[in-house]
Amino acid sequence: MQFSSRSVESLVDELSKLPGVGKKSAQRLAFFLLKASRDDAMGLANAIRAIKDDVISCSECGNFTEDDPCMICTDPKRSRVVICVVEQPMDVLAIEASGGFRGQYHVLRGALNPLDKIGPDQIRARELVERVRRGEISEVILATNPNPPGEATAYFLSDLLQEFSVSVTRIARGIPVGGDLEYSDQATLARALEGRKPVETQ
Amino acid sequence: MAIEKSEAIILRTLNFRDTSKILTAYTLDHGLVSLIAKGVRGPKPRFGSALEIFAHVDLVYYNKDSRDLQLLSQASLLEAHLGLASNLDRYRHACAVLEFLLKLLSGQEPPGKLYPLALRTLEVLEKAPVASLGSLFLAFQIKAVSFLGHRPELFSCISCRESLTEPVYFAPLHGGTVCDNCVVEVDGTRTITQSQLGFLQRLMKSTLAELFEDVPSSEFMADTRGIFELFLASQLDRYEPSRSLRQIPNRHALGLREALKAGDPLGN
């Protein structure tokens, strides 16, 4: 499509590179920004510049941060003896939103998948071992995704951590809260049955 | 646009946009098919574990010959092969099977014996003794290339067609064994021991289940694999040695921990 302005065309091109944004949506966003106040538009531009200039990877947990170590790693109210291992920074957000975990994180930035050229050197396994070696950790929770690469990564890490006196646990897998047994596939049901727990009575 | 239905093995998955996935499936009826599964990674995943690698599934999709990516409509899980990811050795060998199929298949193969072999290999890799996984993978490779018309000659001389007597040679470029009388006429030969030849013959003739007890030493295995890799490299255009076996360590935990202490890269 021919635009009357090269700047608008360039903005549409850039916006359409975003995940889930097609050409039409990019045009709508570009015209919205054209009509928006200068403060709002510059606020967005500055926010984008800031994440590229200021955000770094936390040397401790591997999560995105502006301060190294990050806010979670330095929070005195959080337990320092439990580490939850996740594949991606987005997984930290999901677990934090659950409100059910008050320990430290370790972001691997991937899972073992040779078909995608990801081996042990491409995930932050060595950094995890180094954290555990320092001796403060008593439990490592493996919260990698419940798919074959995530399972293989959990197996690999648990094998690697055997020599340390830490408890290595895996997050539970099974029927989601609010789900129906009727619509669960056989693999999910099998995992749910494997991970069954005694009913606690008062 | 035709609606197609076929049994399949999921060979590869790629997350696409926020909630979709692009899949490469090896179907029983139509060979290699690339599919887009829309909205399957959202808060309510539609097909559960049916769209993960190793899964044996029934697929329904809309096929249009003019496009490369077909639209997935339904997927139901027949077998997830969960055990393949619960052990690193099983995982690396199962990934190597998928990798080999992805390299081997062009998408034009007619239905044949390769699909049942691939499925049976995944089933066997899930349950076989860990020590036999190397033999099983090599047996899969020999049988797979045989089904696709590249059967190595291991029982007679490729030149004179006579039965073999020691010493025996192997000519990767010419696709098989060469006897002592003909070796001067055939280029690119290398020696193969009687035990290596016997092992390769056994892998070709035996069923996968019969190989559970076939556990050669790692040195013997590496040498024999090396000979067969030369054959694969010279017979198949797109062949590359398995990245899965190379990249994921096969050392047991102690070896890995020692590597960490010594500061070695984990994958070496």
Instruction: Quote the pLDDT of residue B260.
Output: 58
pLDDT at B110: 67
pLDDT in tens, A149-201: 999 999 999 989 988 999 999 998 888 888 788 878 778 888 889 888 888 87
B89 and B76 in a common domain: no
* Domain A6-54 CATH assignment equals 3.30.70.20: no
The amino acid present at B180, given as its one-letter code, is D
- Measured CA distances, A193 to A152, A181, B82 (Å): 20, 12, 14
- Chain A residues lying within 8 Å of B253, measured CB to CB: 159-160, 162-163
Are B105 and A124 in contact by the 8 Å Cβ rule? The answer is no
Q: Is A185 within 8 Å of B48 when comparing Cβ atoms? A: yes
Same domain, B36 and B163: no
CATH classification of the domain holding B31 = 2.40.50.140
Give the model's pLDDT for residue B268: 40
Clarify whether residues B230 and B243 are in a common domain: yes
What distances in angstroms separate CA A158 from CA A129, A142, A163, B130, one per listed residue? 10, 8, 10, 18
Q: Where are the domains of chain A?
A: 6-54, 75-171
Asked if residue B158 and residue B53 are part of one domain, the reply reads no
pLDDT digits (tens, 9 = 90+) for B229-262: 999 998 888 788 888 888 776 554 445 555 555 5
> Which of B80, B103, B126 is where one domain is finished?
B80
Say how far apart CA B144 and CA B105 lie, in whole Å: 10
Is B62 found in the same domain as B100? no
Q: How confident is the model at residue A112 (pLDDT cuts 50, 70, 90)?
A: very high
- Give the model confidence (pLDDT) of B18-43 as tens digits: 788 999 999 998 889 999 999 888 77
Do residue B117 and residue B224 come from a single domain?
Answer: yes
Q: What is the pLDDT of residue B120?
A: 96
Question: Residue B51 and residue B40: Cα distance in Å, rounded?
Answer: 9
Phi, then psi, of B5 in degrees rounded to 5? -130, 130
Burial of B45 (0-12, 13-18, 19+ CB in 10 A): middle
Question: If you classify domain A75-171 with CATH, what class do you get?
Answer: alpha beta
B51-97 pLDDT, tens digit per residue, is 999 999 999 999 998 888 999 999 999 999 989 998 889 999 999 99
My answer on whether B37 and B105 are in the same domain is no
Residue among B218, B157, B219, B220 at smallest CA distance from B189: B157
- Number of domains within chain B: 2
Q: Do B21 and B149 fall within a single domain?
A: no
Round to whole Å and give the CA distance between B49 and A175: 12
For residue B163, give every residue at least 6 positions away whose Cβ sits within 8 Å of its Cβ, in sequence order, or none.
Answer: B155, B156, B157
Same domain, B111 and B234: yes
Q: Assess if residue B50 is contained within a domain.
A: yes
Domain-embedded: residue B255: yes
- What residues of chain A lie within 8 A of the CB of B260, using their CB? 126, 129, 160
* Chain A contact for B251 (CB, 8 A cutoff): no
Q: What is the mean pLDDT of residues A14-39?
A: 92
Which band of pLDDT confidence, cut at 50, 70 and 90, is reported for residue A2?
Answer: low
The span from the CA of B266 to the CA of A21, in Å, is 39
Say whether pLDDT at A138 is over 50.
Answer: yes
Among A112, A146, A184, the residue with its CB nearest the CB of B248 is A112
Last residue of a domain, one of B64, B80, B96: B80
Q: How far apart are CA B90 and CA B86, in angstroms?
A: 8
For residues B193 and B162, the answer to whether their CB atoms sit within 8 Å is no
Q: Do residues B114 and B176 both lie within one domain?
A: yes
B250 to chain A: closest CA residue: A156
| Distances, alpha carbon A61 to alpha carbons A64, A98, A105, B170, in Å | 9, 19, 6, 53
Is B267 contained in some domain? Answer: no
Chain B residues in contact with A20 (beta carbon < 8 A): 17-18
The predicted structure's pLDDT at residue A175: 83
The shares of helix, strand and coil residues in chain A, as percent rounded to the nearest 5, are: 45, 10, 40
Q: Give B25 to chain A, closest Cα distance, Å.
A: 14
Considering the domain architecture, whether residues B161 and B210 belong to the same structural domain is answered as yes
* Closest chain A CA to residue B51: A147
Query: Residue B267: is its pLDDT beyond 60?
Result: no
pLDDT of res. A177: 80
Alpha helix locations (H) across A55-104? 71-74, 89-98
Whether B53 and A152 lie within 8 Å, measured CB to CB: no
CATH number of the domain to which B119 belongs: 1.20.1440.120
Cis peptide before A69 (omega within 30 of 0): yes
Residues 77-96 of B with CB under 8 A from A: 77, 80, 82, 84-88, 91-92, 95-96
Min distance B78 CA to chain A CA atoms (Å): 8
Out of B24, B59, B80, a domain closes at B80
The mean per-residue pLDDT over the stretch A76-80 comes to: 94
Instruction: Assess B69–A contact: CB distance below 8 Å, yes or no.
Output: no
In a domain, residue B268? The reply is no
- pLDDT one-digit tens code per residue, B113-152: 899 999 999 999 999 998 899 999 999 999 999 998 889 9
B191 within a domain of the structure (yes/no): yes
Q: What is the pLDDT of residue B250?
A: 59
pLDDT value at residue B212:
86
- pLDDT tens track for B219-231: 898 899 999 999 9
From the list A120, A162, A187, the residue facing B80 with the nearest CB is A187
Task: Provide the domain limits for residue B42.
Answer: 2-80
Pairing of the two strands B56-63 and B2-16: antiparallel
Partner-chain residue, chosen from B49, B84, B266, that has the shortest CB–CB distance to A188: B49
What is the model's pLDDT at position B246?
A: 83
pLDDT of residue B48: 75
Where is pLDDT greater, at A48 or A121? A48
Q: Is the pLDDT of residue A126 over 60?
A: yes
Which tokens in the block code for residue B52? 């993960």
pLDDT, position B108: 67
Nearest-CA distance A162 → chain B (Å): 8
Contact of B169 with B192, CB cutoff 8 Å:
yes
How would residue B179 be classed by pLDDT, with cut points 50, 70 and 90?
confident
- Residue type at position B244: S
Does B115 reside within a domain?
A: yes
Q: What kind and span of H or E run contains B261?
A: helix B253-262
> What's at A102, amino acid-wise?
R
Asked whether residue B158 falls in the same domain as residue B257, the answer is yes
Question: Is ipTM strictly over 0.90?
Answer: no
